[in-house]
Structure 1
């Protein structure tokens, strides 16, 4: 990447609409769209999207609502919608071949599920996701608290990269074996996407909902022009607000920040690369808040999570293997979990409902992986043995080992996979069953 590649920071791809629908049925249509990813005056990009835009519409509901969405497939491939991070009933999880049949072109599928947890989530295709997400089939899903925090603006910021030609055409090769066997499909253009109609004031208190929607890239991000705290990860509130510091978001991970605007020029999102910092986007600042808040930033209300039975937790091992420079990888089995590439007939484990497990996840590869668990959240266990934050996706670096502690209380068959989506396509996936 070079500086020319990042000169598109002044506007969003589209002012994606907010959709407050709660219990009302909502039509979500996958279809071809045209997006202005490059700066105005450069070429537009033919992509996929929902309801005429990419990202798709921002859906909003209240905690405890039942969402009813009719998905209409207007593209020329089978598709489906996964509601990432939502602890929903298994039949609505959106995984073709596991929880539902694929939605054929020109047909529909009705989703209906309760949203038990407030927080920042997102939705995306889960059929040929390594291609369909890269082409734009995703959008934010925001579940609001009964008593949301007092802020002047609540802003969703989606961070993505794209592989484009000089005239803005999206480069194909979604099943490139070199990408799949290395770090994944990396784009040569990147930016932060947000509602570009927003202008902030010095002294405003804002809630920033950061979502990494890329298919492979880990984004080290610095948010400039604000002073505040991180208050949630992957939708789950932190027990106490924490300093923001250096933010690292793996694909599919989220962070909520509540902060006060301190800059006069703008609130920026800076991508820290090996070549130096690059601006991904700037929310302009104009004027001064006449009565800025003086109160401390408080913790969000916790979601109701089942307490883990630490003393009686069963111990399991999940080993990541394969990839480039591995002796076990082949063209047919690039990535493996415990020696198995791709889905097996037998589950990784069958859990009794409510059973707690401590899973030791070992990365015996040369690359980082973001491991996502469907239908559940888990604690990242800290080196001292204490229970860390709740996540639904954990980033594990090369030769790194991490324990996760999870209460498997959601009945059904659930997917577990790397959210570097080319890695998933090339074998890094398994499944488990909760009785």
Structure 2
């Protein structure tokens, strides 16, 4: 069986061969560029200095990219950063070579170099893009943005708002990003949690709406580790899609919306607050509610509310059942502070937890720390995988599967909605199922990015 090292060696040989081709044979129409660059932006409230960031196009978040469903995205990443980088297109069922994972699907893009991303977008929905090299640092510095794939037939709404939720760890004395990206505290506990929570890079985000106006809110959690627990006040509506994938029918919003890192939700909401008042998308912070976005109600869009919206059109290939050829897999998450892990395989050797901590590594999957040379599973194309995940740690984790979506197998045997990221609480045991319908080597990791950097990474191969 081909190992990961053999795969990368073969990729390097292919790249070298391409370098021998005549220049005319490689000539293409130049792609529009997406520049990863340093910049200075005003993130903190007035009175604080501007913050030095790394951003796509010099903004944080980066520009919203919009493509029609079935369309092609073509962008050349130009790396103007002091570090190597790459782009992962989160949630897209993409060609493997375009997935943006250094060491698995591509080589890093060194400073001063570029890489052409060129792929079709099969699924409509709310997605995002972010750096996948030293992610715990580069995403925290601002390298992320929204990717919207538009349906052929949009829903009946008055307006749409893309809301990228993030937190930043800022030194209150200088207004600059805290540079301790290797903090053992963050890596071994809940992850890197910021002290400045923003929407679309704005503190205290406010917009004007009208009573009975109908909005589509595309929510994206781009934070390193923060779990957003969100509620609506003066707004009523429905959840329409999760992680970009439409629900079979709109689900009334009666409680909170919970988004782990990397997760998304599409809501359709009506403004029901009175004229002259303010409605809120609020987050739960400890025992109190804090405005995430304020909606100032000025004027009236109509005299009455509309009825329940129609479901969003389903994406292709989002239905599968558990009959037929399947394989059962297990993934046990261990380690971290207050855990019971005594040791695991690290760099090919059995290592005690004390030695792991000295190497700034704290987590393990199935007794293995970090990216293994062999996959968690090698699957035939079309095979159904049933993966049981156990969280034997003291902290929540957001498990993200690249290249494919999955459904949770519920206690009654039914299947939950299509997702690409599963938020698991401490001591939980959950089962997901997915069809191995996208060939290639696909990363499976915790999207608390400090956890991924300190051990929580593996991969699956689809033949």
Taking structure 1 as the reference length, the TM-score comes to 0.92
Counterpart in the other structure of 1:6: none
Cα 1:358/1:50, change in 2 over 3 Å: same
Superposed CA deviations along residues 247-278 of structure 1, whole A, max 9, x for unmatched, are: 11000000000111112333422110214111
Q: Unpaired segments of 5 or more residues in structure 1? A: 1-22
Residue 366 of structure 1 is matched in structure 2 by 394
2:258 corresponds to: 248
Given that residues 156 and 194 in structure 1 are in contact (C-alpha distance below 8 angstroms), is that contact kept between their aligned partners in structure 2? no
Q: Determine which of 201, 204, 213 is the counterpart of 1:204.
A: 213
Contact 1:228 1:297 in 2 (8 A): no
Give runs of aligned pairs for residues 240-389 of structure 1, distance below 5 A.
Answer: 240-244=249-253, 245-263=255-273, 264=275, 265-290=277-302, 294-305=306-317, 307-312=319-324, 313-326=326-339, 327-328=341-342, 329=353, 330-331=356-357, 332=359, 333-389=361-417
Displacement of 1:197 after TM fit?
Answer: 8.7
SS at match of 1:199: strand
- In structure 2, do the counterparts of structure 1 residues 154 and 25 end up closer, same or farther at CA, with 3 Å as the change threshold? farther
2:204 equivalent to 1:176:
no
Q: Which stretch of the first structure deviates more once superposed, 289-298 or 61-70?
A: 289-298
Structural mapping, 1:94-173, within 5 Å: 94-166=100-172, 167-173=174-180
Greater Rg, structure 1 or structure 2?
A: 2
Look up the SS of the partner of 1:27 in the other structure: strand
Q: Which residue of 1 aligns with 2:49?
A: 43
Describe the superposition over 1:140-190 as per-residue Cα deviations: whole angstroms up to 9, x where unpaired.
Answer: 000000001121111011111111122411111111111100000111111
Two-structure CA RMSD over aligned residues (Å):
1.7
CA distance in 1, matches of 2:61, 2:191: 21
Residue pair 2:398, 2:448 contacting (<8 A) in 1 also = yes
Task: Mark the runs of 5 or more structure 2 residues left unpaired by the alignment.
Answer: 1-28, 343-352
Q: Distance in 2 between matches of 1:281 and 1:151?
A: 19
User: Using the alignment, how far apart are the partners of 1:268 and 1:24 within structure 2?
Assistant: 44
Q: Which of 186, 202, 212 is the equivalent residue of 2:193?
A: 186
TM-score, normalisation: structure 2: 0.86
Mapped to 1, the partners of 2:113 and 2:328 lie a distance apart of: 43
Q: SS of the counterpart of 2:49?
A: coil
The separation in 1 between residues aligned to 2:171 and 2:296, in whole angstroms, is: 29
Q: Offset at 1:192? A: 2.2
Aligned to 1:379, the other structure's residue is in SS state strand
Report the Cα offset of residue 315 of structure 1.
1.1
Size of the aligned set, in residue pairs, is 413
Question: SS at the partner of 2:442?
Answer: strand
